[in-house]
C-alpha cells in the first residue's frame, strides 16, 4: 500500500468517530470541548500561536517542567526552505508524548540547542513559498498536514513529500494530531498484525493518542 493510499484508508476508517478537542492557547490556557451527550473518542492537543510575525517556542536548555514552555515563546527570523521543502503558515501543532520528553532532554533523539519542538502540524502553503519540481501544492491555497522538527512556531519548512493535503471535512485542529499516532497504530495492526474483519483486538491502553487511534482503526477495519 502506498503512503497516500495508507492515509486515505486511515481517514476512511476513523472519520466518523466523535471528536474531543483539547486546545492550548499561546498563553498556556487549556480549553476542552466535546459534542454534547457523547463520549470523546479522539484526543487532540493543539497549540495556537495567533501572532503575525514569526514566533516560536525556542528551547535553549532542558526544561524542568512543561509549565516552563509558555515562557519559551519568542520572536524568530523567518525559516528559509531548502531543496524539496515548502514554507508552511502553521495553524495548529500536535503535541505527542515524545515532545514532552524532548523539551526536558529525556528523549533518545535530541536536536542541538537551540531548537523548536513539535513534530506534526497543519497549515497552509505560504503565499511566498517556493514550489519544488513535482510538488502539487498551490501557494496561499493548499491546506496540508505533516511532520517535521520545529512545528511549535508560526512558520515551518517541511519536505513536501512529508505533507498530505487536508481532505474536505477535516479541520486544522484535527489534522494536526493524526500524522504521528495514526500511522503508528495502523502499521502495528494492519501492516504487521494483519488485522482482518471478524478478529478480536485487545488494546491495553486506550487513553493516549496511539491507543485511541488503535481503537478507531480496529473498529473501522
Our count of domains for the chain comes to 2
Q: Which domain holds residue 197?
A: 179-220
Kind and range of the H or E run holding 110:
none
Cα 123 to Cα 3, 59, 164: the distances in Å are 20, 22, 11
Residues 107 and 197 in one domain: no
Instruction: Quote the cell numbers at residue 13.
Output: 476508517
**d(C-alpha 67, C-alpha 65), whole Å:** 5
At residue 4, the pLDDT reads 60
Residues 67 and 114 in one domain: yes
By DSSP bridging, strand 85-93 and strand 143-147 are unpaired
At residue 15, the pLDDT reads 58
Residues 95 and 153 in one domain: yes
At residue 220, the pLDDT reads 87
Residues 157 and 188 in one domain: no
Other Cβ atoms closer than 10 A to 1:
11
Is residue 139 situated within a structural domain? yes
Residues 158 and 216 in one domain: no
Residues 164 and 196 in one domain: no
Domain end point (choices 171, 192, 207): 171
User: 10-residue block means of pLDDT along the chain (221 residues)?
Assistant: 63 54 35 39 48 86 93 93 96 91 96 96 96 97 97 96 94 90 92 94 87 91 73
At residue 85, the pLDDT reads 98
Residues 78 and 186 in one domain: no
At residue 11, the pLDDT reads 63
Cα 43 to Cα 18, 32, 120, 178, 188: the distances in Å are 10, 10, 15, 10, 20
Cα 106 to Cα 30, 67, 166: the distances in Å are 24, 16, 32
Instruction: Write the CATH number for 159.
Output: 3.90.180.10
- What is the spatial order of strands in the sheet that 143-147 belongs to? 155-159, 85-93, 120-125, 143-147, 163-165
Residues 214 and 109 in one domain: no
Amino acid at each position: 500500500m502506498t503512503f497516500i493510499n495508507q492515509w486515505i484508508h486511515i481517514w476512511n476508517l476513523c472519520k466518523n468517530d466523535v471528536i474531543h478537542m483539547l486546545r492550548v492557547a499561546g498563553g498556556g490556557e487549556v480549553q476542552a470541548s466535546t459534542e454534547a451527550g457523547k463520549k470523546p473518542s479522539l484526543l487532540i492537543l493543539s497549540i495556537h500561536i495567533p501572532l503575525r510575525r514569526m514566533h516560536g517556542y525556542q528551547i535553549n536548555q532542558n526544561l524542568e517542567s512543561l509549565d516552563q514552555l509558555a515562557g519559551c515563546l519568542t520572536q524568530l527570523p523567518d525559516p528559509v526552505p531548502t531543496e524539496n521543502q515548502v514554507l508552511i503558515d502553521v495553524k495548529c501543532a500536535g503535541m505527542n508524548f515524545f515532545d514532552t520528553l524532548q523539551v526536558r532532554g529525556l528523549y533518545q533523539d535530541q536536536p542541538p540547542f537551540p531548537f523548536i519542538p513539535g513534530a506534526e502540524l497543519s497549515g497552509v502553503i505560504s503565499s511566498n513559498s517556493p514550489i519544488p519540481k513535482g510538488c502539487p501544492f498551490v501557494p496561499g491555497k493548499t491546506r496540508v498536514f505533516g511532520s517535521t522538527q520545529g512545528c511549535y512556531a508560526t512558520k515551518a519548512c517541511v519536505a513536501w513529500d512529508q505533507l498530505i493535503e487536508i481532505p474536505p471535512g477535516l479541520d486544522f485542529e484535527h489534522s494536526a494530531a493524526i500524522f504521528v499516532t495514526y500511522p503508528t497504530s495502523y502499521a502495528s495492526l494492519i501492516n504487521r498484525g494483519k488485522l482482518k474483519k471478524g478478529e478480536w483486538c485487545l488494546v491495553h491502553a486506550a487513553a493516549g493518542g496511539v491507543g485511541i487511534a488503535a481503537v478507531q482503526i480496529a473498529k473501522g477495519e
